[in-house]
Chain A
Amino acid sequence: MKTPIYLDNHATTRMDPRVLETMLPYFTEKFGNAASRNHEFGWEAEKAVDRARKQIADLIGATAKEIVFTSGATESDNLAIKGVAEMYAERGNHIITAATEHKAVLDTCKKLEKHGYRVTYLPLKGDGLIDLDMLKESFTDKTILVTIMYANNEIGVIQPIAEIGKMCRERGVLFHTDGVQAIGKVPVDVNKDNIDIMSITGHKIYGPKGVGALYVRRRNPRVQITAQMDGGGHERGMRSGTLNVPSIVGLGEACAIAQREMPEEMKRMRYLRDKLTSKLQAGLDEVFINGSMEHRLPQNLNMSFMYVEGESLLMGINDVAVSSGSACTSATLEPSYVLKALGLGDDLAHSSIRFGIGRFNTEEEIDYVADKVIDVVKKLRELSPLYEMAKEGVDLSKVQWAAH
């Protein structure tokens, strides 16, 4: 077993060597511009792009013409939300989203608010799920778009996407979902799930960074989006810019592999995740799982280790790459807004660790990580005045802390 062990697969994934293999020729001998219509080099590139388009579409139950290539999910989210807002401005100015969305969605919505749009940020239930009744009450006759992510990047909770999509469809409102954590990991079908627009990225599914796609529905309803960049009118006028052929080929191959291997991989991921969970629960008291265990990606575990601060825990398991919801590990010095939206106190948010299991993790690695985390948590609890007080029966919520 080699260290460090990578268990941060919601942040990014290692590229599958099979993906790299398919990409390589498109950097060198097959270097053509997919928009060159009058020679062999261009045709070859266009053919490769079309094949990738089909591979992506197949994974999500779409058609190839509904795939628009972008630079990644941040661009896809921006294009979807701003593009719909601009295109449908005459119909209304209201957008519904959720408090736990990715910043690419939240900050895009905030930008639109400055331009006169109204945005509803739905709170979440304690298990991280949307309250469908609350969503229902949030629609107005000015609502043009609902944007709610498929699966959350911190807690892995999967939203009731098909129900949300159905509600939108019944009201003639478009439904966008940020699908980056879900596609290739769990079955996603834009028709069964009533999705109109979906953001996709390569690097979360063992493909390259810097490439993504936007699914844009063409029938029932036909979705229109105003381009956010002006140029050569590529991608049916929705996204100008010369196509990044090698990366697009890689994204396509990553989708094809994910589709082929999903049933097997889901089983294996769930087995490893459940093993990690039960080992941690058996080895430690006072640990809490954040978010629904039932509606969750099989790759994700997000756990709070009470009385231990996240950054100090990461320091103790420095040969394991994971993330923490602790403020000390974020650029903003604020604890995770996702965990806080679940109603978690700041103290528990500070004590959380996100484990993201991926295709290349082994059972041996999971065993090692579990043992290591248990060791370090025990050691840090020996150091923790909070653990000592709790063991003495002090109710920590009643203590008058000298906040600083």
Chain B
Amino acid sequence: MAYSDKVLDHYNHPRNVGSLDKSASNVGTGMVGAPECGDVMKLQIQVNNDSGIIEDAKFKTFGCGSAIASSSLATEWLKGKTVDEALQIKNTDIVNELSLPPVKIHCSVLAEDAIKAAIGDYRAKQSAKSSAPAEQTVA
């Protein structure tokens, strides 16, 4: 299969690889996929609690080149956005940006799911903090 130049670029130079402290209250972690399906994405956001802006985003992905590129692109897009803006990112945006073929659309879906899961985790931590500050749930 021929890969688009953008997929190759993200694969060869993945952006924002790494991990954030998953126990920090302003870090949201999303882990989606399963090893037996051939892809697992971990996507993390670090949010500035005052401004609500995503200051940092990191990923690690087990999967094909398109899965790696989709999650790498997602972290690029997340940085500087508010949490609400981030929720507007659609898998079709990723498909278009990376020119993913139909057989790789699931990679973009997984990336969108990872964004939603990370934000969901962040929001759960925030509401847990305001309602019951003593008890922190770890995802």
Question: Interface of A with B (CB < 8 Å)?
Answer: 307-309, 311-312, 315-316, 326-328, 333, 335, 345-347, 350, 382-388, 396, 401-404
SS of B interface (majority):
mixed
Residues from chain A with Cβ under 8 Å of B68 in the complex:
312, 383
Interface size class of B (residues with CB under 8 A): 20 to 34
Do the beta carbons of B14 and A383 come within 8 Å of each other?
Answer: yes
Do the beta carbons of B38 and A401 come within 8 Å of each other?
Answer: no
Work out how many contacts link A and B, with CB atoms closer than 8 A. Answer: 88
* Candidates A350, A382, A388; contact of B35 at CB < 8 Å: A350
Cβ-based interface call for B134 (8 A):
no
Cβ-based interface call for B138 (8 A):
no
**A386 and B38 contact, Cβ closer than 8 Å, known pairs A402-B32, A404-B110:** no
Residues from chain A with Cβ under 8 Å of B14 in the complex:
383
A309 to B34, CA, bound (A): 12
**A403 and B60 contact, Cβ closer than 8 Å, known pairs A333-B103, A385-B42:** no
Q: A307-B62, A315-B65 are in contact. List 7 more A-B contacts (CB 8 A).
A: A308-B62, A309-B67, A311-B65, A316-B11, A345-B35, A383-B14, A402-B34
A239 to B17, CA, bound (A): 60
Q: Give the residues from 36 to 67 in chain B that come closer than 8 angstroms, CB to CB, to chain A.
A: 36-42, 60-65, 67
* Candidates B36, B61, B65, B106; contact of A384 at CB < 8 Å: B61
Do the beta carbons of A383 and B65 come within 8 Å of each other?
Answer: no
B90 to chain A, nearest CB (A): 17
Do the beta carbons of B19 and A315 come within 8 Å of each other?
Answer: no
Cβ-based interface call for B80 (8 A):
no
| Central interface residue in B37, B61, B113, by most chain A CB within 10 Å | B37
Residues from chain A with Cβ under 8 Å of B106 in the complex:
404
* Candidates A307, A309, A382, A396; contact of B39 at CB < 8 Å: A309
Do the beta carbons of A309 and B17 come within 8 Å of each other?
Answer: no
* Candidates A307, A347, A383, A387; contact of B36 at CB < 8 Å: A347
A381 to chain B, nearest CB (A): 9
A327 to B107, CA, bound (A): 14
A-B contact pairs, 6 of them (CB 8 A): A345-B36, A385-B42, A401-B33, A401-B36, A403-B33, A404-B32
A249 to B14, CA, bound (A): 52
How does the 8 Å CB contact mask read for B6-38 relative to A, with 1 for contact and 0 for none? 000001001001010000000000011111111
A324 to chain B, nearest CB (A): 10
Do the beta carbons of B38 and A346 come within 8 Å of each other?
Answer: yes
A326 to B67, CA, bound (A): 14
A58 to chain B, nearest CB (A): 43
Do the beta carbons of B38 and A404 come within 8 Å of each other?
Answer: no
Residues from chain B with Cβ under 8 Å of A326 in the complex:
38, 64
Complex: chain A residue closest to B34, CB-CB: A401
Do the beta carbons of B42 and A327 come within 8 Å of each other?
Answer: no
Do the beta carbons of B37 and A309 come within 8 Å of each other?
Answer: no
Cβ-based interface call for B3 (8 A):
yes
A333 to B61, CA, bound (A): 19
A91 to B110, CA, bound (A): 55
Residues from chain A with Cβ under 8 Å of B19 in the complex:
388
Do the beta carbons of A346 and B36 come within 8 Å of each other?
Answer: yes
A350 to B32, CA, bound (A): 17
| Central interface residue in B17, B19, B36, B39, by most chain A CB within 10 Å | B36
A317 to chain B, nearest CB (A): 12
* Candidates A312, A346, A385, A404; contact of B11 at CB < 8 Å: A312
Residues from chain B with Cβ under 8 Å of A350 in the complex:
35-36, 38
Complex: chain B residue closest to A315, CB-CB: B65
**A346 and B37 contact, Cβ closer than 8 Å, known pairs A383-B17, A404-B32:** yes
Do the beta carbons of A385 and B31 come within 8 Å of each other?
Answer: yes
A345 to B60, CA, bound (A): 22
* Candidates A309, A335, A402, A404; contact of B62 at CB < 8 Å: A309
Do the beta carbons of B37 and A386 come within 8 Å of each other?
Answer: no
Residues from chain B with Cβ under 8 Å of A315 in the complex:
3, 11, 64-65
* Candidates B17, B40, B103; contact of A401 at CB < 8 Å: B40
Do the beta carbons of A401 and B3 come within 8 Å of each other?
Answer: no
Do the beta carbons of B34 and A327 come within 8 Å of each other?
Answer: no
* Candidates A316, A347, A383, A402; contact of B61 at CB < 8 Å: A383
B139 to chain A, nearest CB (A): 12
Residues from chain B with Cβ under 8 Å of A312 in the complex:
11, 63-65, 67-68
B22 to chain A, nearest CB (A): 11
A124 to chain B, nearest CB (A): 20
A385 to B58, CA, bound (A): 11
Top 9 closest A-B pairs, CB basis? A401-B34, A346-B36, A347-B35, A385-B42, A385-B60, A311-B64, A403-B34, A315-B65, A350-B38
Do the beta carbons of B60 and A384 come within 8 Å of each other?
Answer: yes
Do the beta carbons of B60 and A309 come within 8 Å of each other?
Answer: no
A386 to B78, CA, bound (A): 23
A309 to B19, CA, bound (A): 20
